[in-house]
């Protein structure tokens, strides 16, 4: 059994070691075996050694009892990340036919104290599955996300509950509130696309969402998430970046007004490459689009996304290979 760093902060001063409890005299504690020559000896606290020694003992005996359940409570208090503690606790809950609603309250408190701990979230999911009732999950995750809007575990649990129990109805409203409060809430943008993906795209939804994201990009132009959201929308339908004229007009309007967000320029690179091949296929002169692709790549490499200059020069060279001509290169290789 693997333990983590111990913490005695949540134990009352009058807490008694299991070794000193009369009702535990029948159990021979099992000390942790680190081998004869451990490389690093972890200095666990006295309480930690005491609790986990008794936990090993009852697990080895597969004891099913309320005292063992209480022991898992103390073990989880010392180390909420220990998988074995929670697994054994679930065995006990089921065997003892415990009130799972009480357990839900208990694990809610544990999550409040350990909001970024995978094991506590997994335990809650199992209890919700056993109850077959996710009526409290949206409120619970909302409370956590109020404290930390980017808590991955909370979002993952929320998406699981929504998808498993079909709780999509009001999620777009919730996400809209989060985005309105913080346009840079990347997790909220991801959640919005998650909802749309599972509820379905049609022409009306695409038009609505394109206007939604365009309005918000106008407010914050240098945020990657809404640009990714826009790309995701355009992959629906015909799957072309230029399938909606208002999107092309919007992006070119931003560029013409002097906006040089790397996300705008990257979008234009892909858009103009798409338009180059469409023009060529239609028998129109594509050279104007070729120039724009190379111009955007150079702008990104030399000035607006210098950290990825090698990438953008690769994109430019790859584009030239695809169109079948080496073309002229400048001193920067474009």
R_g (Cα) of the chain, nearest Å: 29
Determine which one of 25, 47, 116, 197 is catalytic. Answer: 116
Length of the chain: 334
Quick check: 117 and 109 in contact, CB under 8 A? Answer: no
The DSSP secondary-structure symbol of 167 reads: -
Spell out the alpha helix ranges (H) of 182-243.
186-199, 203-219, 224-234
DSSP-derived secondary structure for 254-275? HHHTT---HHHHHHHHHHHHHH
DSSP-derived secondary structure for 140-155? HHHHHHHH-TT-HHHH
Assess whether 116 carries a catalytic annotation: yes
* CA atoms of 81 and 128, how far apart (whole Å): 19
Give the closest residue to 62 by CA, choosing from 88, 81, 38.
Answer: 88
Give the closest residue to 5 by CA, choosing from 111, 104, 107, 117.
Answer: 117
Give the closest residue to 190 by CA, choosing from 142, 158, 143.
Answer: 158
Give the closest residue to 76 by CA, choosing from 104, 117, 37.
Answer: 117
Tell me how far CA of residue 57 lies from CA of 18, 26, 43, 73, 111, in angstroms: 12, 11, 21, 16, 27
Q: Which residues are catalytic?
A: 116
């Amino acid at each position: 059994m693997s333990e983590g760093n111990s913490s005695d902060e949540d134990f009352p001063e009058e807490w008694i070691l299991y070794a000193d409890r009369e009702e535990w005299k029948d159990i021979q504690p099992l000390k942790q075996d680190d081998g004869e020559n451990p490389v690093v000896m972890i200095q666990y606290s006295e309480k930690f050694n005491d609790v986990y020694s008794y936990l090993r003992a009852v697990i080895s005996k597969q004891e099913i009892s309320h005292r063992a359940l209480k022991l898992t409570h103390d073990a989880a208090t010392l180390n909420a990340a220990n998988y074995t503690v929670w697994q054994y606790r679930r065995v006990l809950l089921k065997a003892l036919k415990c009130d799972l609603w009480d357990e839900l309250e208990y694990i809610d408190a544990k999550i409040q104290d350990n909001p970024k701990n995978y094991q506590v979230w997994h335990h809650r999911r199992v209890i919700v599955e056993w109850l077959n009732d996710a009526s409290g999950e949206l409120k619970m995750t909302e409370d956590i996300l109020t404290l930390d809007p980017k808590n991955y575990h909370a979002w993952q649990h929320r998406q699981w509950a929504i998808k498993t129990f079909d709780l999509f109805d009001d999620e777009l409203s919730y996400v809209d509130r989060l985005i309105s409060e913080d346009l840079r809430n990347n997790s909220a943008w991801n959640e919005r696309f998650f909802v749309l993906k599972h509820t379905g795209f049609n022409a009306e939804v695409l038009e609505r969402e394109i206007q939604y994201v365009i309005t918000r990009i106008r407010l914050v132009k240098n945020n990657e998430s809404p640009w990714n959201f826009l790309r995701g929308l355009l992959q629906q339908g015909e799957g072309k970046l230029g399938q909606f004229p208002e999107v092309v007009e919007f992006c070119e309007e931003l560029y013409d007004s002097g906006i040089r967000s790397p996300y705008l320029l990257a979008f234009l690179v892909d858009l103009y490459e798409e338009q180059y091949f469409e023009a060529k296929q239609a028998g129109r002169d594509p050279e104007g689009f070729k120039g724009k692709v190379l111009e955007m790549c150079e702008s990104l490499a030399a000035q607006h996304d210098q950290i990825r200059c090698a990438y953008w020069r690769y994109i430019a060279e790859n584009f030239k290979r695809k169109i079948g001509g080496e073309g002229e290169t400048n001193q920067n290789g474009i």
